[in-house]
Homo-oligomer: A and B are copies of this chain.
């Protein structure tokens, strides 16, 4: 295993300490592994809390800041945070208007956020939970009952975060988060497996000329193994799966993310985006906004995920609203 770390068991604490040192706009509770805005929550603002296993950076800590999350809970690598962390986060950021938990659909995350929601209610905090389950590759997987939550998390956090910033109430923010999830579909392909610090070896074997089609962000199996194909054909496969599940018509506006899984260089992501843009243009589908880069990663996995959100005017307007986080920043 080749990693820039001190020791496998120190990775999360060291990285959180690095995040704290790099970003004065964030306040890192090292003991509880909660990353929150240093500025706190404005009274009356709905607070957004997310979290999950580490190894997907910048998700979620990199999306904490004005216009997006209020706090993120970091679990160990590929391991859900525990309810106590989520409760701590909710208590730290509740501004009296309630808290939205944004939960990627993995069994551990779902159970732990559910327990945290019950604990929070006991503490007098109103909580709405939004499940993200955008991955169309498989129905169930190693980590999940139902569809996995992946790239749409970024769209949900950005758009619902902007609405909360504008002063919307808890029900409205949760409703928008659910709408964004319901409008989004994702599909990923891996060229290599990722290696967790704890295991020290790749999570699966993938021959030198094959790819895993429909992979999950922890290296869970996808739909099938295939010979590696040109980017154009990989994009066609991903778009077939996405549009097969949510058809788009000519004139529909979308937000598209071409996301690197951690070990894929940016030049390849632009090659992929070029194919996505051409394929959608052929159908008359408009890419109104886009992200090309590393947003929801799987440690050092080489590969790409594609997320397409069918966006209405409200979503686009909220997308354009100011955001100031380590990983997304504009208009501010």
Contact = CB atoms under 8 A, between A and B. Distances in A.
Interface of A: 2-7, 11, 14-19, 21-22, 54-55, 57-58, 62, 77, 191-192, 208, 211, 228, 230-232, 234, 262-275, 277-278, 287, 290, 292, 294, 297, 299-300, 302-304, 329-332
Contact of A15 (B55, B234, B274, B277): B274
> Which of A4, A54, A262 has the most chain B CB atoms inside 10 A of its CB?
A4
B264 A4 contact: yes
Contacts of A6: 230-232, 271, 275
Given A6-B230, A18-B277, A300-B302, 11 more contacts: A4-B231, A6-B271, A14-B275, A15-B274, A18-B271, A18-B273, A18-B274, A19-B270, A57-B266, A62-B266, A264-B300
Contacts of A330: 329, 332
B270 A57 contact: yes
B265 A21 contact: no
A271 B5 contact: yes
Contacts of A211: 2
Contacts of A16: 270
27 contacts: A2-B228, A3-B268, A4-B303, A5-B268, A6-B232, A6-B275, A7-B230, A11-B267, A14-B274, A15-B267, A15-B268, A18-B270, A18-B271, A18-B272, A21-B274, A21-B278, A22-B277, A22-B290, A57-B266, A57-B270, A58-B266, A77-B267, A263-B263, A264-B300, A266-B297, A267-B299, A300-B302
Nearest to A295: B266
Contacts of A272: 4, 18
A66 to B, nearest CB: 12
Contact of A2 (B3, B15, B191, B232): B191
A204 to B, nearest CB: 14
Contact of A273 (B5, B11, B21, B274): B21
Nearest to A57: B266
A302 B5 contact: no
A262 to B, nearest CB: 4
Contacts of A262: 265-266
Contact of A231 (B14, B230, B290): B14
A174 B292 CA distance: 32
B58 A2 contact: no
B15 A270 contact: yes
Contacts of A232: 6
A148 to B, nearest CB: 19
A307 to B, nearest CB: 14
A208 B202 CA distance: 13
B208 A304 contact: no
A57 B273 CA distance: 15
A270 B3 CA distance: 12
A18 B272 CA distance: 7
A268 B4 contact: yes
A59 to B, nearest CB: 10
Contacts of A208: 2
A84 to B, nearest CB: 22
